[in-house]
Amino acid sequence: MKRLSLVVALVLLVSLAAGQDQSTAAAVKAVRCGALIHPASGQVQHNVIVIIQGERVRDVLENATLPAGAAVIDLSDHTCLPGLIDTHTHTLLQGDITAADYDEQLLKQSIAYRAILGTRSVRRALEYGFTTVRDVETEGAGYADVDLKKAINNGVIPGPRMRVATRAMDVTGAYPLSGYAPEVPVPHGVQIVDGADNARKAVREQISYGADWIKVYSDRSYFVRPDGVLDDIPTFTMDELRAIVDEAHRQRHKVASHAIALNGVHNSVEAGVDSIEHGNYIAEEDMKAMVQKGIYYVPTIYVGEYVAQGRAAAGAKVWVEMLKIHGETFRRAVHAGVKISFGTDIGGFDWGITPAVEFPYMVKYGMTPMQAVRSATTTAAEMLGMQNDVGGISPGKYADLVAVKGDPLADITLLQKIDFVMKGGEVYKAPGH
Ligand SMILES: [Zn+2]
């Protein structure tokens, strides 16, 4: 009697253990990569197996045998790298070469419709291999970026991890829509704020509605001086800019500053923003201050190429002149050791184009391919304060992993052909699909 119950108990135990094994095995995935790029160290591992449990990476093994029972994804003819990060997107904007393109979206499309288009933008971002984005303002679509982020996090729609800036800020008379009759009220692409107190209030308001970052427009009206310096008209006073930065930092949020030329960049650096967006021209002294203060540079080179001819045809030739200046500034920044975070301004150009078109420009203007990849992974993750979760493939981080055929370090344009995308252990795109 006693002996029999022991046998029954043993059989029970064994079957329980087997059952447990099966359920654990179901949650484990193994991705076999022909090569794996580690942007932080600059190392490339070959014949690697990435073990994923749930949302996160459990192990990275070289020349190992596959764990029994794991679901295997074979990318042995691919190069794997961490999910890419674009730190300057506009998911709610669908291209604006001319003022008319922009006005049409704000005047003729409801925010609801723009949000529907936004769901397409975020899906495309993910399919291009960008598993994290910082969206730096909705261009008149209110707080719809907070809702896109929420819908992605709740599993309603596919999309990247998002950090959002909501409405952004500029002063009266500086931001479109503009040029309409004074008696016709028109929407603006930003929240208009004047005066330090109002600026502080706007920061509080935007954060209360879900802004992760605060975005400001620090300059406008660009022109090339005879000495070759790209000059501008600053928007905010130093008082206003300092109030915005102080209020955002008090609440442990960061500030991104659109600053294309001399004064916009200088004032932003003085005020202590966290990132300079575009930075077509950065004076030598300001570049030194950026290195010293750890301010990131988000250059967005490709969008300049994209809009230049159209804007020149509409009378603004400066956009063509700015391209050359931008390339030189980027080269100086690489040399000076400024922290450069990958960003494209996609939405300013068509979402039918992959943000990866930015990479060849970064290489053309002085980065190695590895530096360019690092900028879109390690550095971007650090700027976002997400370095423990994204930007690398190592145990404990999210299983955000993309892959291409061939070697993107030999041909950086291959990153425009990402054909495998995994985010948080879920496959969103697989070769042949
Ligand atoms: Zn932008």
Rounded distance, CA 413 to CA 411, Å? 5
Q: Both tokens of residue 179?
A: 């040029």
177: amino acid identity, one letter: L
Residue 89 Cα to ligand 1 midpoint, Å, equals 6
Residue 71 Cα to ligand 1 midpoint, Å, equals 41
The whole-number pLDDT of residue 18 equals 41
- Could you say which DSSP state residue 340 is in? B
In terms of C-beta density within 10 A (0-12 exposed, 13-18 middle, 19 or more buried), how is residue 283 classed?
Answer: middle
Residue 348 Cα to ligand 1 midpoint, Å, equals 7
Residue 87 Cα to ligand 1 midpoint, Å, equals 10
Residue 20 Cα to ligand 1 midpoint, Å, equals 50
The whole-number pLDDT of residue 310 equals 83
Rounded distance, CA 51 to CA 30, Å? 5
The whole-number pLDDT of residue 15 equals 39
Residue 287 Cα to ligand 1 midpoint, Å, equals 21
Residue 358 Cα to ligand 1 midpoint, Å, equals 14
Rounded distance, CA 340 to CA 298, Å? 6
Q: Both tokens of residue 132?
A: 């994290």
Tally the C-alpha atoms within 13 A of residue 156's C-alpha that lie toward its C-beta.
11
Residue 275 Cα to ligand 1 midpoint, Å, equals 13
Residue 7 Cα to ligand 1 midpoint, Å, equals 70
Compute the C-alpha angle 374/218/178, nearest 5°.
Answer: 120
Question: What pLDDT digit, counting tens, does each position of 290-312 carry?
Answer: 999 999 999 999 999 988 888 88
Residue 432 Cα to ligand 1 midpoint, Å, equals 33
Residue 299 Cα to ligand 1 midpoint, Å, equals 10
pLDDT per residue of the chain (433 residues) written in tens, 0 to 9: 344 444 434 433 433 444 444 444 448 999 999 999 999 999 999 999 999 999 999 999 998 888 888 899 999 999 999 999 999 999 999 987 788 889 999 999 999 999 999 999 999 999 999 999 999 999 999 999 999 999 999 999 999 999 999 999 999 999 999 999 999 999 999 999 999 999 999 999 999 999 999 999 999 999 999 999 999 999 999 999 999 999 999 999 999 999 999 999 999 999 999 999 999 999 999 999 999 999 999 999 999 998 888 888 888 888 889 999 999 999 999 999 999 999 999 999 999 999 999 999 999 999 999 999 999 999 999 999 999 999 999 999 999 999 999 999 999 999 999 999 999 999 999 987 6
Residue 347 Cα to ligand 1 midpoint, Å, equals 8
Residue 344 Cα to ligand 1 midpoint, Å, equals 8
SS3 141: coil
Question: DSSP E strands: which ranges in 311-419?
Answer: 401-405
What lies within 8 Å, CB to CB, of 317 at 6+ separation is: none
Rounded to 10 deg, the angle between the 318-336 and 284-293 helix axes is 50
Q: Distances from the Cα of 45 to the Cαs of 54, 63, 182, 409, in angstroms?
A: 23, 10, 62, 13
The whole-number pLDDT of residue 98 equals 81
Question: What pLDDT digit, counting tens, does each position of 260-292 carry?
Answer: 999 999 999 999 999 999 999 999 999 999 999
Which residues crowd ion ligand 1, with CB under 5 Å? 345
Peptide bond into 177 cis (omega under 30): yes
Residue 222 Cα to ligand 1 midpoint, Å, equals 16
Residue 31 Cα to ligand 1 midpoint, Å, equals 35
Residue 285 Cα to ligand 1 midpoint, Å, equals 25
The whole-number pLDDT of residue 312 equals 86
The whole-number pLDDT of residue 311 equals 84
The whole-number pLDDT of residue 389 equals 98
Parallel, antiparallel or unpaired: strands 191-192 and 213-217: unpaired
Rounded distance, CA 297 to CA 341, Å? 6
Write the DSSP assignment of 343-370 as a string of letters. Answer: ---BTTB-TTS-GGGHHHHHHHTT--HH
Residue 90 Cα to ligand 1 midpoint, Å, equals 6
C-alpha closest to that of 52 among 413, 367, 397, 412: 397
Rounded distance, CA 393 to CA 56, Å? 9
Residues 315 and 266: beta-carbon distance below 8 Å: no
